[in-house]
Structures are given as structure tokens and as C-alpha cells.
Amino acid sequence: MLLCAGFIAGTKPVYSQSQTLKISENKRFFTDQNGEPFFWLADTGWLLFNRLTREEADRYLTDRQQKGFNVVQVMVVQALRTVNVYGDSALVSHDLGVPKVTDGNAFENQEQYDYWDHVDYVVGKAAEKGIKIGMVPIWGNAVKNGKTSASQAKAYAQFLARRYRDRPNIVWINGGDIQGDVVPGVWEAIGSTLRAEDPNHLITFHPFGRMQSSKWFHDREWLDFNMFQSGHRTYAQDNEAKDLRYGEDNWRYVEADYARTPVKPVLDGEPSYENIWHGLHDKTLPVWTADDVRRYAYWSVFAGACGFTYGNNAVMQMRHANDPKLPSWEEATDDPGASQMVHLKNLMLSKPYFERVPDQALIAENGERYDRLLATRGKDYALIYTWNGRDMKVNMGKIGGARVNASWYDPRTGQTRVLGKIKNKGIKTFNPPGEVRNGNDWVLVLEK
């Protein structure tokens, strides 16, 4: 018998409905149920449901909560043969339309505790810690082999929606590292069914690398916000035409989606992971570092994104300590990039949130690639980001006040260095602290 509620009668957990995400009035950002700003700061914990025990999941979620993350993106079913750490299968006979469920959910009783009870447990623990779970129903690789039909996908989406629609901390992420025109009937079935069965949770689509959900689904009623995957390749590794791919310039994806109508929020749902090799597979190449992660984060957010998703090579795989040459997920949770992401979130929430817009007109002289400056502002504040600490030539007078307070914000530490009061007219040159080099990033903060 299918347990659509996901818990035994009388034991339903109670959560605050303020955990349910909404779209802001101007359609650019997220809010909580009470209308307060919500800056999406996600971690990619793709295999959380599959590879971690309940105790490990609790430790992971606690760590992410302490580091300021408020969303974790997770695969619900990675493959049709998916089995979790307890040996429980997600599906009956590898059929997506038939989730394998049992009566009851007593952890001590193996016949009662199943794959979905474990998912319930993790979702509940995340809710206790104020963390949203971005749930990818089925990963793209499990669909593109043609073994899943639209009717199976619809039945599965009905099961998911009915089981989790009363959990306030859910965001649905359709797709999963795949193009929307590959087995499109499956993605349309999942998206439309989730919307019909669960009208209160937001839905997006996680596309293949160097692609945007908007390419296929921007006008769909079930798509509430756009997600793109800027991916893991370097400028040199890109070989597609520029009008199809934006390379490492992830701000270009935001800029393109920001201009679309109807207006929808947008964010980078998978940039380069910290400590994964350039291009993913060649282990002789360098790895992406915390410096690179910060660049993707600030570039995209200052271009107008409503948040950012961080990723770490070991953590996204939930890799255990079985390879002496590679760190475990627990060791990797303390990689520097993970601790630095909260400084972006804190900076964004420290200013009037819903009035913020991207504004490259603040920059009098810009550069290409790593020399690129990104600017964003509100009515009485402006923020300009440099990744390499080069001089900034700024067009003043774009915010209020005859004079403005100027300071440097350090994305590595969250600390501020005060410059003092500056006349708010003409073109001013600002020289960031330290030498010019990639990774010496700073935010110039101007305030009325």
C-alpha cells in the first residue's frame, strides 16, 4: 500500500509554514511565507539520500546549517536501480512508476523502514535546521536511456507530490544534468504533475552543463524560476559557438535570463565544484579552488541572480574515506570555499534587498574574462566586485547623496576596511588592497 503522507498517523511533525519559499512581488527574488527576504545559498549534496546513514545525514545538515547554507540540492532517485545505505530499493523492479514502500516507518523494524522513510527522515531533519531540500525527482542519466515513459514519470511525480506537499521545506528541481529536449515528455510530465498536485512548492529545472532551463521551459506554467549550470570547464575547454555557450562568464547566463519575459528569478545551480578537476575528468589538470567558487558566486549574484549554489567534489558524491588519495565528504565540508559562501549571503541581506538591480553603468572602464567587474546597486548603495584586485574606475552619482561612505568588503573573511567619505560625482578610481592577482577579490561598497 502506498503511504502518501510519509509518516505514521499521530506522529506528523509540525513545521513553520514560513519555511515555504515564495516569489517576491517584483518576481526577481525569493521570500519566505512572511514576505521576508530569502537569499538562496545552496550546497550540492546530490547523494545525501543514497549514501549517508541517518546519523551521518544529521552531522552533514548540522555542518551546513552552521556555515549558513539554507538549501541542499539532492537527487531523490539517482538511477532506476537506486539502493540506499541500508539496502533499501527506491523502486519496484526498476520501474519509476512504482516506488517501493512498506506499511509503517519504524527504523528498528527492517520490514517497516524503507527507502522513502529514510528520505522522510532527512527532509524532516533539514526542516528542523531551517534548510530547504531541493529535490531532483530522477537524474537525467536514468531517463535518457529510454527505459522510463511519460506515464511512469507522471505516476512517480504524483507519488512524490502527495507524499511531500505538506512538508514546507521542499523545492522541486525537475531534470538533472540533462537537456530539456532529451526525452522531453518525461520532463513535461513531471513538471506539470508536480504543479497540479502540489501548487504551493516552487519548481525549476536543472539543465546540462553550459545550458539554461529557460532554453526549453521559460514559458511553462510549472517553471517558477530559472536555473542554469555554468559547469566545470575552463575558457580553453569550450568549443561551442559563443551564442550558445557563455563559458566561465556565468554572469552572461544571468544577464540573458534577467531580460526575459515573463520575469522569473534565476540562479547558477551548478558552477565549478571546489576541488574537482578542470573539465571534470582529467586528473592531471588543476582543480577548481575556493577562489574560483567565489568568482562564480559574486559574478552571478551581482548580475542579478537571486542566490547561488556551491558545490564540492567530495561532498556532492558523499564520498567515504575509502581512498587514501582523496578526502572524505566529512573532511571536505571544511574546505575553505564552503565557509566563505556565507559572507556573500550576509552582504546581500545587509542592504535593502528587494530594490537591488544589476547596473553595469556604474563601471567607467571594464575588462574581459578575469578582469571583468560586476556591479549591483539599490537606491542608496552600490556594490562592485573585482576578482583580481585591479583598479576600479567608477561612475559616481548613481546612488543618492552628495557624499558617500566607501569601504572594501573581503569575500574571504566578511571583514570591512573603511575608506571614508567620497564626493559622489565624476569618475573616481579605487585601488583595492593587495597586489593584482587572480583570487585577490574585493567588493567596493558605496553607501549614502
User: Model pTM?
Assistant: 0.94
The per-residue pLDDT of the chain, averaged, comes to 93
- Structural domain contains residue 106: yes
DSSP letter for each residue of 269-315: S--PPBT-BTTSS-TTS-B--HHHHHHHHHHHHHTT-SEEEE-BHHH
Do 367 and 320 lie in one domain? The reply is no
Q: Does residue 14 register a pLDDT over 50?
A: no
Q: Does residue 5 register a pLDDT over 90?
A: no
Q: Does residue 293 register a pLDDT over 60?
A: yes
C-alpha to C-alpha distance for 299 and 297, rounded to whole angstroms: 6
- Structural domain contains residue 230: yes
Q: Does residue 6 register a pLDDT over 70?
A: no
Residues 6+ apart with CB under 8 A from 129: 61, 62, 64, 65
Which of the listed residues 317, 349, 381 is the one where a domain comes to its end?
Answer: 349
- Structural domain contains residue 202: yes
C-alpha cell at 116: 522513502
Q: Does residue 37 register a pLDDT over 90?
A: yes
Do 316 and 213 lie in one domain? The reply is yes
- Structural domain contains residue 176: yes
Domain that holds residue 323: 17-349
- Tell me the pLDDT tens digit for each residue of 174-191: 999 999 999 999 999 999
Residues 6+ apart with CB under 8 A from 50: 75, 78, 82, 83, 84, 85, 318
- Tell me the pLDDT tens digit for each residue of 298-327: 999 999 999 999 999 999 999 998 777 789
- Structural domain contains residue 7: no
Which of the listed residues 318, 349, 380 is the one where a domain comes to its end?
Answer: 349
Do 371 and 319 lie in one domain? The reply is no
- Tell me the pLDDT tens digit for each residue of 118-146: 999 999 999 999 999 999 999 999 999 88
The CATH number of residue 363's host domain is: 2.60.40
C-alpha to C-alpha distance for 33 and 122, rounded to whole angstroms: 22
Do 39 and 145 lie in one domain? The reply is yes
What percent of the chain has a predicted confidence (pLDDT) above 70?
95
Span 348-368, average pLDDT: 97
- Cα separations in angstroms, 296 against 17, 87, 174, 248, 309: 32, 38, 23, 8, 10
Q: Does residue 16 register a pLDDT over 60?
A: no
Do 76 and 210 lie in one domain? The reply is yes
**Nearest alpha-carbon partner for 329 in 41, 59, 86:** 59
The CATH number of residue 30's host domain is: 3.20.20.80
- Tell me the pLDDT tens digit for each residue of 72-105: 999 999 999 999 999 999 999 999 999 999 999 9
Do 200 and 117 lie in one domain? The reply is yes
Do 297 and 341 lie in one domain? The reply is yes
Helix or strand holding residue 185 (H, E) = helix 184-197
- Structural domain contains residue 9: no
C-alpha cell at 271: 558552477
Q: Does residue 1 register a pLDDT over 60?
A: no
C-alpha cell at 99: 516506488
Q: Does residue 10 register a pLDDT over 90?
A: no
- pLDDT confidence of residue 247: 85
- Structural domain contains residue 145: yes
- Structural domain contains residue 198: yes
Do 314 and 439 lie in one domain? The reply is no
Q: Count CB atoms within 10 A of the CB of residue 73.
A: 26
- Tell me the pLDDT tens digit for each residue of 158-167: 999 999 999 9
pLDDT band at 4 (very low <50, low <70, confident <90, very high): very low
Q: Are 230 and 213 in contact (CB under 8 A)?
A: no
Q: How many domains does the chain have?
A: 2
C-alpha to C-alpha distance for 77 and 82, rounded to whole angstroms: 6
What percent of the chain has a predicted confidence (pLDDT) above 90?
90
Do 133 and 224 lie in one domain? The reply is yes
C-alpha to C-alpha distance for 175 and 188, rounded to whole angstroms: 10
- pLDDT confidence of residue 13: 47
- Tell me the pLDDT tens digit for each residue of 219-252: 999 999 999 999 999 999 887 665 567 889 999 9
C-alpha cell at 139: 537524474
- Which residues partner with 206 through β-bridges? 175
Do 340 and 364 lie in one domain? The reply is no
- Tell me the pLDDT tens digit for each residue of 379-400: 999 999 999 999 999 999 999 9
Do 286 and 419 lie in one domain? The reply is no
Do 185 and 238 lie in one domain? The reply is yes
Which of the listed residues 349, 382, 407 is the one where a domain comes to its end?
Answer: 349
